[in-house]
Structure formats: structure tokens, C-alpha cells
Amino acid sequence: MKHETIDARITPEGNLDVLSKMEVNRLLDTSKGGLYKLFRNCSLAVLSSGIELDDGKELFERYKSFDIRVIQEERGVKLEVKGAPASAFVDGKLIRGINEHLFAVLRDIIFISDEINDSRKFDLGSSDGITNAVFHILRNADIMRPVKNPHLVVCWGGHSIIPVEYDYSKEVGYQMGLRGMDICTGCGQGAMKGPMKGATIGHAKQRIAEGQYLGISEPGIIAAEPPNPIVNDLVILPDIEKRLEAFVRIAHAVVVFPGGAGTAEEIFYLLGILLCPDNANLPFPLIFTGPRKSKAFFDQVHQFIGETLGEEAQRRYKIIIGDPASVAREVQAGIKQVREFRKATDDAYYFNWLLRIEPEFQRPFIPTHENTRGLELSKDQDRHLLAANLRRAFSAIVSGNVKDEGIRAVERYGHFEIRGDAGILDPMDSLLSSFVAQRRMKLPGTKYIPSYRIVK
């Protein structure tokens, strides 16, 4: 099937517009150490906003001829694209929001390459060094608002949700927007778009002109979850671990909507951190919510958390079904506690420095077949460490489901094997089977082919 494309030369809108010759050369470098492939893939993902695809491999194969080049001119830089998705343009001109996202990608790739990876300023082998790097990436993107009281709600959930769940997420966003809260998500469709869309209406009714709709992504996932058009701030972190840390460092509350393996990964990442003894008394509002039709999803997730991490983990969140206004009020009350705590402890409103994140949650996990087989999924370890390994197992499933490299690895070597104790794997098998039965592992209308195999 042929897909309409367009060639164009693009001028930056509101983001990085000056580059050194060395930076331009690195962006055009197609060698292993060059940035061209990373820049091309992230740019194509941004330009595909609005195209409903469920994996990066399909996107890259659909637009094989896509090319992007940096053109250095006396008055700054421009981008030259060839074979770009025509849906990103109106009458031959790139949509302004997509333009901003495209140059945000350029900004973050350059900064991470020059200031984080190729600099001695950050010790990426230490926990504090990683947190410092995450802070500087976010600060460079200019998304922090230090003079404002806490009001940023991170919303997690699947991009493959049914219409009633999407409408519900939109209503929750509306109720939070009426109460002056801003929204941060993974920037894609479904439960990532719904809360933002609802909040725009709530903000409009309250005449809030500067609402923030922050999208946080990473190169491996952005092709499957390109930024939705409501995102007005976009940040690309270098890997999933730094992306997750960015979420929890800037969040004043987290709301979880129905989803699949990616949502489970996010849940276990956060629960593992909250189970760390150093965080026992730290307020962190966490709410699971969905329409009444989604009650079975949360029942299954709640049961799985109880069977693996125990009641202590279950006490760290609240489940609210079918009541968007109650969710917004609960979030508002929780954020008030966060503000009082941070004021009393002299912690920043815009970045949660006091939250202790163990190295197990920060070290990048590369979901190869060998690494996935080697995960320790047993109760013979601290609960927060078990949560870290469960997070990695779900990360491997996500990789095999939607990430270009993961899909190709499964095609070449077969299923990722998840091994461990029956007391962990039996409930995990039940949870994943329920995700498949509820069609939460792929976009509606497509058949799910498992990327994993449970080996007891």
C-alpha cells in the first residue's frame, strides 16, 4: 500500500535554531557512533503524529525512504525532509505543533549527546549522577515552573483502550483541569491523550491560558506512541529508566488508567520506589481509576500486586471506579499534603529531590533474550527489588510488542522467556492472559501475537 509523502524545508518554531558545525556533522553521521539514525527515527515518529500504528517496526517500514538533513545557513538552521508523512502538513506547510515537537527532538538529542553522554559532568555510574542528569535534561527543555504551587498530575495508561475508557480519562482530565491542575503523560494516544484533552476544556472554562500538557518519551517507544497534538511541551529522555524517573521526580500525583504491559511496567516501577524504606513516610498520591466497565482490570492488577508485593504495596494506592470528580478531589487533597511536606522539608516543588530511587530502578535494562531469562523473579528478596525485576519483565514484553528492535529480536530468536518461581509466574500468567483477552496488548481490531513465553 502506498502512503502519501511530501518533501519540504522546515524553519524552526520556538526551539533550537542554532547549531555548531560539529553538531551538524554528528547529526548527519551514519556510522555506529553517529546520531543520524536516532535523529531520523525520532523525527519520523513526531511527523507521524495522528497515524494509528501500534509498533515502531511498521512505521519505519512504511516510510523506508524518509530522510532528514540539517541545513546550516547564515541565519540559523533548517531541516530538509524527504518522504515525510503528508498528514503532518497543511497546504505544504508543516503543522506548527509538529514543528515545535520536531525541534524539541533536535534539542534533546543534541543536549543528551554533548552534555550527558560525552561529558564528564555527570557520573552515570552513580545514583545521584543519574538523577542529576535527568534534572538537567528537564531543565534544558525549560519545562519546570518553580514559582508555582504543586499542580502537575502524571497520567499513565494504555494507548490501546476502548472508547468508554478514553471518554472516562477525558472526563477525569476535565475535572482536574477545572481545579487548575496541569497534565503530564507519555504523550501518545488513548489514556495519554484523553486527560490532556479533558484538561484543555477545564482550563478554558476557568480561563487558564497557560495550561501545561507535558509529554515525556524516549527513542525506543516514541515511534509506537508519537506525540498527540495537544502536547505543548515535549521532552525526549535517553532511555526508559530515565523517562520513568523524570515522571516520578516532577509528579505531584499520579493517576493510572487502564492499560497493558506498559502500564504494568510503570506501576511496578513506582510501587518499587515507594516500597523503599527511605520513602515510607513520603506523601505520593497514587490513584488507579477507570469506568465501571474497567473494574475487572483493576481487580486483576490489585490481586497481582497483593500476590507478589503484598499488602504494604496495596496500601500505597487508592482505587476509584466510575467517579471522575472524586478522583480529582482525591488528587487535589493529596497534592495539598505534598505541598505541606515539601514546604516543611524545604524540598523543591518542581523536582522531588527527597524521593529515594535505588540503582536497580535507574540502571538501563536492555531487554535481550539473555537478560530477560536471567531476571530473578522470586519472593526470596526484598519486595522493592522484586518490583524492580517485575518492572524489567514487563519492559521486555513492551519491547517485543511495540519497539522496533524488540520486535525484530523476537522475529529472529523467538519469544522472550520469563522464568521464575511458580508463586510469581502463575499470577503473572493470569494477569497477562487477562490483558490479551481484554485486547490491551494491541490496537483494537488487530490480532495479538505474544512476544513472550512463561517458563515455570
Do 190 and 294 touch, CB atoms closer than 8 A?
no
Instruction: Count H helices and E strands in the chain, helices first.
Output: 16, 14
434 SS3 class: helix
191-210 exposure pattern, b = at least 16 Cβ within 10 A, e = fewer: bbbbbbbbbbebbeeeebee
Domain region containing 425: 123-456
Are residues 84 and 178 both part of a single domain? no
Angle, helix 422-437 to helix 295-308, in steps of 10 degrees: 170
pLDDT tens per residue, range 239-272:
999 999 999 999 999 999 999 999 999 999 999 9
Closest CA to 361 of 185, 130, 137, 155: 130
pLDDT of residue 32: 67
Total number of domains constituting the chain:
2
Query: How much of the chain exceeds pLDDT 90, in percent?
Result: 70
Are residues 316 and 267 both part of a single domain? yes
Are residues 202 and 297 both part of a single domain? yes
Please give the Cα distance from 322 to 334 (Å, whole number). 19
pLDDT of residue 353: 97
The CATH number of the domain holding residue 14 is: 3.30.1850.10
pTM of the model: 0.93
pLDDT per position in the chain (456 positions), as tens? Answer: 567 899 999 887 655 556 777 777 778 777 766 788 899 989 999 998 877 766 667 788 888 899 998 887 766 678 899 999 999 999 989 999 999 999 899 899 989 988 898 778 889 999 999 999 999 999 999 999 887 899 999 999 998 899 999 999 999 999 999 999 999 999 989 999 999 999 999 999 999 999 999 999 999 888 778 899 999 999 999 999 999 999 999 999 999 999 999 999 999 999 999 999 999 999 999 999 999 999 999 999 999 999 999 999 999 999 999 999 999 999 999 999 999 999 999 999 999 999 999 999 999 999 999 999 999 999 999 999 999 999 999 999 999 888 888 888 998 999 999 999 999 999 999 999 999 888 888 765 667 888 899 887
Are residues 200 and 264 both part of a single domain? yes
pLDDT of residue 1: 54
From 121, 140, 163, give the residue that closes a domain.
121
From 104, 121, 138, give the residue that closes a domain.
121
Are residues 112 and 144 both part of a single domain? no
The conformation of residue 116, written as its DSSP 8-state character, comes to I
Are residues 87 and 152 both part of a single domain? no
Are residues 111 and 143 both part of a single domain? no
Are residues 308 and 376 both part of a single domain? yes
Q: Per DSSP, what are the bridge partners of residue 8?
A: 81
From 62, 96, 121, give the residue that closes a domain.
121
Q: Per DSSP, what are the bridge partners of residue 216?
A: 235
Are residues 376 and 397 both part of a single domain? yes
pLDDT tens per residue, range 18-54:
677 777 777 877 776 678 889 998 999 999 887 776 6
The chain-wide mean pLDDT, for the chain, equals 91
Which residues, 6+ apart, have CB-to-CB distance to 215 below 8 Å?
Answer: 184, 185, 186, 187, 188, 192, 227, 228, 231, 233, 234, 235
* Cα angle, residue 16 at apex, residues 14 and 19 outer, rounded to 5°: 150
Are residues 418 and 449 both part of a single domain? yes
* Cα angle, residue 153 at apex, residues 108 and 99 outer, rounded to 5°: 35
Q: Per DSSP, what are the bridge partners of residue 419?
A: 455
Are residues 266 and 362 both part of a single domain? yes
Are residues 334 and 315 both part of a single domain? yes
CB atoms within 10 A of CB 147: 7
pLDDT tens per residue, range 178-213:
999 999 999 989 999 999 999 999 999 999 999 999
The CATH number of the domain holding residue 221 is: 3.40.50.450
